[in-house]
Structure 1
Amino acid sequence: MGASGRCRAQSRADTSSAAKAVRAQGSLRVQGRHGAEFPLAQEALQLWTDAAEEGDFDLVKGGNRYFRTKEDELPILQHLVEEAHKAGLTQVQLLDAAQVREIMPAATGPFLGAMWSPVDAQCQSEKGTELYTRRAEKAGAQIAFGVKVTKLIESCGRIIGVDTTAGRIQAGAVVVGAGVWTPYLAKTVGLDVPIMPVVMSELETEPVKPLFEQTIRAFGFGSRQRRNGNVVVSAGLNAKVAHGVSLADLNGLRYWLTRAMSFRKNLKVKFDLARTIEQLRHRSTLSTDLIPHVSPEPTCDRKVVHSALGRLSTVIPELQGAKATRYWGGLVDMTPDGLPIIDGHVGPEGLPLITGLAGHGFTLGPVLGEIASDLPLDGATKRDIESSGSRVTRARSTSPK
C-alpha cells in the first residue's frame, strides 16, 4: 500500500497494534542522511505534508538543528552540509551561536553553533501511523493484529504465500518488512539477512511551556517538543545502544565484526542467557518459533537518556528541573553499514525485502510503502535504489537464484 492511498494487493500485518507499536520519536528528518537516502527522504517528507491535508497528526514544519558543542564536531557537520548541497538541499547551512539564538531564543546555554535545515519537520508518530493504517484499510487492505507469520511458502522459485498462526494465506507476492525478525522469516527460503537488533532508549518529560518547534540532534542528545508541551529526549548522535548477545550473533558475523569493533564504545552488550537456552532447545538460532508472539518490551537505559536530558538542559536552561514522566526502548534493526536493505530481486520471485531501517524508517515510511507496492507488482520502482552511487545494501542469499 503506497503513501498516495493506492492499494494493489491485500495484505495482513503481524503486529499487535498500529498505535501501541510506535516507538519513533517523530522527527521527519531529511538532513544528516547518507546520500543514498536523500531522494527517498525528500519524497517522503512531501508525502507526509500531503497526508497532513487528510488528517491531523500534529505535523510541525519547524526545521531541524544539529547543535555543535565541541570544536572537533565541526568537520563532521561541514561534511554533512556538503553532502546535503550535493543532493540539492541548498537551504542546509552552518550557523554560529548568535544566528542559532535568533531562530531558537530558548537556546541561551553554551554551545558553538549548529547545522540548520529549515525544511525538516516533526509529527506525533502514533497519530501518523494510525492515519496510514486507516488509508490502507480504506484502500482494501486487510490488517490482522496478533497474527504471526511462521513461514514463507515457495514453489518453483516463486513465493506463493505464507503460513501464519491463523492459517495459510495464498499470495502472489509477499513483502517482508519485519524489522529485527526479518532474518528469521528470510531463513525459511534460504536467505541470510545481516541484522543486529539493538535497543535505543527515549524519555518524555512533563509538559513545559513552548520552547522550540525545531527537532534537535547533537552528539549526546536529541529532542523534539510536542504540541502539548511534552519534550521527547533521545541519546542523539553516537548514542549508546544495547544488544543481547546470543548464538544468533554467529549469523552474518563476517559482515558485522569489523563494524562492531569500530563502534564498540557505543555498544553495550550483555549475554542473553534466556534467548541462548531457547536457541539450544530449538536446535536453531533463526527458527521462526523463536519469534515471540508479542514483541518484548525493551528495557530503557535510563542513565543514558537522563544524561541526554542533562546535556539538552545545558543548551536550553529552561528545561533544567523538568521531570521525566515516561520511558521506553525500541528494538532497532541495524545493518552492517547502517543503511536500509531495499531489495526486490533476491531469493524467490515475488519476495521484496524492506528492512534494516536502523532507526531511519519512520520518516521514510510513506515512500517505502510506495516501493513495497512497486517491487512485487511492477518488478521495479522509479526510485533510485540501485544506482552506482547508492550504498543501500542487499540481502545475502545462501541459496541459488
Structure 2
Amino acid sequence: MPGPHVVPVHGDETLPDACDVVVIGGGIVGCSTALELAERGLKVVLCEKGGIGQEQSSRNWGWVRISMRDPREVPLMAEALRLWDTLDARTGRDTGFKRAGIIFTCANEKELSAHDRWRANLRDYQIDTRMLSAREFGDLLPGSRLPMAGALYTPADGRAEPQKAAPAIAEAARDKGATILTACAVRGIELAAGAVRGVVTERGSIACQAVVLAGGAWSSLFSGRFGIDLPQLKVMNSVLRTKPLEGGPEQTIWANDFAIRKRQDGGYTVASGYDNIVDIVPASFRHAMDFLPALRSEWKALSFRLGLRFLDEARIPRQWSLDEASPFEYNRVLDPVPSRRKQDKALADLKAAFPVFEKAEIAQRWAGYIDVTPDAVPVISDVEAIPGFHIATGFSGHGFGIGPAAGRLMADIVTGRAPIVDPRAFRLSRFSDGSKIELISGV
C-alpha cells in the first residue's frame, strides 16, 4: 500500500460472542468512541475491515483547529481542544499533539473582513485568536513573500500526527478492556423486533444491544443496505510530505494555493489549500439534489472528473446477503492515486511564498477520500428507524481534530448520558425532516 506508514495495531485473535456495543470503523472517530465507552465500563468490540487508521484518519493534514470552523461545530471543537491537551497522558502514547497555532491568510480586504467577522463565533470561549496585519504576519514569519491583506491567527490551535493518533487511541481502548478486531469487516446488523440485536462479521456473529457506524466514506453504502438514506459523497485530496527541513515555519498555515503543517520529524505536510477532486460516480446522481446547494457555493474549489472510478463504484452491489462476502471485504483500504499536478503546484506556490522551501525534498505522496455531507457538518446521531443503531460519519475533512470530542458525544448518545454539547445540529434526521440544509462559509 503506497499510503503513509501508520503505527501498526495488531488485532485480537478471538471474536467475542457478545458485548454491549460494536463500533464499526477503526478511524479516529470510531477509536475515540470505543475508548469513551470502554472507560465507562461497557464491553466494547471495535471492528475494522482493514487496519486501524489506514484510510482518511492517517491521510489528512493533521490539523487540530477551531479556527474557521462551521459555527455549528465550534462548541464540539472547543471540547476537542481540551481533550487533545490530555490525550497523550490518557492513552499513555504519543500522538504528536502540540498547540503551535494556525494561521489563515487573507488575500484581500473582503477575506480579511470575513475572517474578522468569524471571530465572533469564539466570543463565549477563552481561546486566543486575533487578526494580523500583513506587516505583523511578516514580523511573525520573516522571509515570507506571500502577498496578503492580513491573516487570522489562532495560537490555541494545534497539530498532531495522523499516523499515530488513531492507533494510540485504539490501543488505549484495548487497555480499558475493548476488543480490537482488524481485517474483520462487518457485513451487517441483525435485528429483533426492529431493533439491534447483533452484527454479522466475516468471522462470525456478535450479539450486542447497540452499534455505532463510524465507517467514514463507506458509511452510506453500509447504512443503505438497511434502508437508511445517508447523503454522502467522496472528495479526493492529494498530500505530500517533505523530508526534514530547517528554518521553516512552526505555525500551521493556510493560503488559497497551499496548506502546510510542520511534522514531528521536522518535515512538512503540504497540500493545495483549496483544490480537491470529485469523481463522478453513480452516487453523484442519487444524491445530486441533496448536494446542489453546496455545489452552487463551492464549485470553484472542486475539480470534477469522469473516469474509471465510475465503473468501479457501479460494480459495487448495494444489497448483499449476510452469509456472503460483502463489498467491504473486497476493498480493505481506499488508496486513491494522488494528483501529482495539484501536489507539484502546491509545492511550487509554497516555494514562491517561503523561499526556505526551495530546499525541500519530497519524501512521499498520497491521497485520501474525504467523506462529505451536503452541509459539510457531520452526522453524530442515533437512527430513529432502527433502535440501537447509531452513526458517526460525514466529517467533511474536519474529522481528525474534532475526533476525540465526536467520540465522547457519540458515547453520550449511546449511553443516554447528558451530552457534552447539544447534538441537534448533527442529527441524521435533518436530511429528511424538512430542515433547511445550509452550507455555512468556512474552510
- Alignment TM-score > 0.5, same fold: yes
State the distance in 2 between where 1:144 and 1:14 align.
6
Gaps of 5+ in 1: none
Match in the other structure for 2:62 = 26
Give the aligned partner of residue 397 of structure 2. 359
Aligned to 1:39: 75
**Displacement of 1:105 after TM fit?**
3.0
Distance 1:91 1:246 in 2: 42
Equivalent residue pairs, number: 391
Counterpart of 1:73 in structure 2 is 111
Q: What is the Cα deviation at residue 33 of structure 1?
A: 0.5
Deviation at 1:190, TM superposition (A): 1.2
Equivalent residues in 2 for 1:245-284, closer than 5 Å: 245-273=280-308, 275-276=310-311, 279=314, 282=317
Rounded to whole Å, the distance in 1 between the matches of 2:339 and 2:352 is 21
| CA displacement 1:27-82 (0-9 Å, x = unmatched) | 11111111111111111111111113333332221111011233442233123223
Q: Which residue of 1 aligns with 2:27?
A: none
Q: Does 1:323 align with 2:331?
A: no
* Residues 81 and 94, structure 1, Cα contact 8 Å, conserved in 2: no
What is the deviation of 1:395? 6.2
Question: After the TM superposition, which of the residue ranges 227-236 and 7-16 deviates more from structure 2?
Answer: 7-16
Corresponding residue for residue 220 of structure 2: 183
Q: Could you tell me which residue of structure 1 aligns to residue 436 of structure 2? A: none
Distance 1:376 1:109, change over 3 A: closer
Partner of 2:342: 304
Q: Which deviates further from its counterpart, 240-249 or 125-134?
A: 240-249
Q: Measured at CA, do residues 324 and 394 of structure 1 come closer, stay the same or move farther in structure 2, by a change above 3 Å?
A: farther
What SS does the aligned partner of 2:67 have? Answer: coil
Q: Which deviations, in whole Å up to 9, do the C-alpha atoms of 1:296-327 show, x marking residues without a partner?
A: 31121121122222222233221124222211
Q: CA deviation at 1:108?
A: 5.0
Deviation at residue 283 of structure 1 after TM alignment: 7.5
User: After alignment, is 146-155 or 252-261 more displaced?
Assistant: 252-261
Distance 1:136 1:283 in 2: 32
Q: Compute the TM-score of the two structures, normalised by the length of structure 1.
A: 0.89
Match 1:227 to one of 260, 264, 273? 264
Residues 1:125 and 2:162 are matched in the alignment: yes
Is the partner of 2:96 in helix, strand or coil?
Answer: coil
Partner of 1:382: 420
The answer on 1:9 being equivalent to 2:46 is no
Q: Which residue of 1 aligns with 2:377?
A: 339
Q: Which residue of 1 aligns with 2:438?
A: none
Q: Distance in 2 between matches of 1:250 and 1:109?
A: 40
Gap change, CA 1:275 and 1:109, over 3 Å in 2: closer
Q: Once the 2 structures are TM-superposed, how far is the Cα of residue 192 of structure 1 from its aligned partner?
A: 0.3
Match for 2:337: what amino acid? Answer: T
SS in 2 for 1:208: coil
Structure 2 counterpart of 1:207, one-letter code: P
Instruction: Say if 1:2 and 1:200 are closer, same or farther in 2 by CA, change over 3 A.
Output: same
Distance 1:96 1:392, change over 3 A: farther
CA RMSD after TM alignment: 2.6
Q: 1:228 to 1:194 in 2, by over 3 A?
A: same
In structure 2, do the counterparts of structure 1 residues 289 and 41 end up closer, same or farther at CA, with 3 Å as the change threshold?
same
Alpha-carbon distance change, 150 to 5 in structure 1, aligned in 2, over 3 angstroms? closer
Give the Cα separation in 1 of the matches to 2:256 and 2:278: 21
Deviation at 1:19, TM superposition (A): 4.9
Letter in structure 2 aligned against 1:61:
R
CA-to-aligned-CA distance 1:180-207 (integer Å, 9 cap, x gap): 1111111222110000111111111122
Paired AA for residue 74 in structure 2: F
SS in 2 for 1:169: strand
1:198-237 aligned at under 5 Å gives the runs 198-236=235-273
Inter-partner Cα distance in structure 2 for 1:216 and 1:260: 26
The verdict on how the C-alpha distance between 1:308 and 1:283 changes in structure 2, with shifts beyond 3 A counting, is closer
What TM-score, normalized to structure 2? Answer: 0.81
Q: 1:167 maps to what in 2?
A: 204
Q: How many angstroms does 1:274 deviate by? A: 5.8
Give the conservation status (yes or no) of the 8 Å contact 1:342–1:394: no
CA shift, 1:115, in A, is: 0.5
Q: What residue in structure 2 maps to residue 142 of structure 1?
A: 179
What is the Cα deviation at residue 281 of structure 1?
7.8
Query: Quick one: structure 1 residues 108 and 260, their matched pair in 2 at CA, closer, same or farther if it must change by over 3 Å?
Result: closer
Change (3 A) 1:183 1:20: closer
1:348 alignment partner, SS class: coil
Contact 1:180–1:356 (8 Å) recurs in 2:
yes
- State the 1:109 CA deviation: 4.3
| Counterpart code for 1:244 | D
Kept after mapping to 2: 8 A contact 1:346/1:397: no
1:326 partner SS: strand
SS in 2 for 1:310: helix
Q: How does 1:91-130 map to 2 (within 5 A)?
A: 91-130=128-167
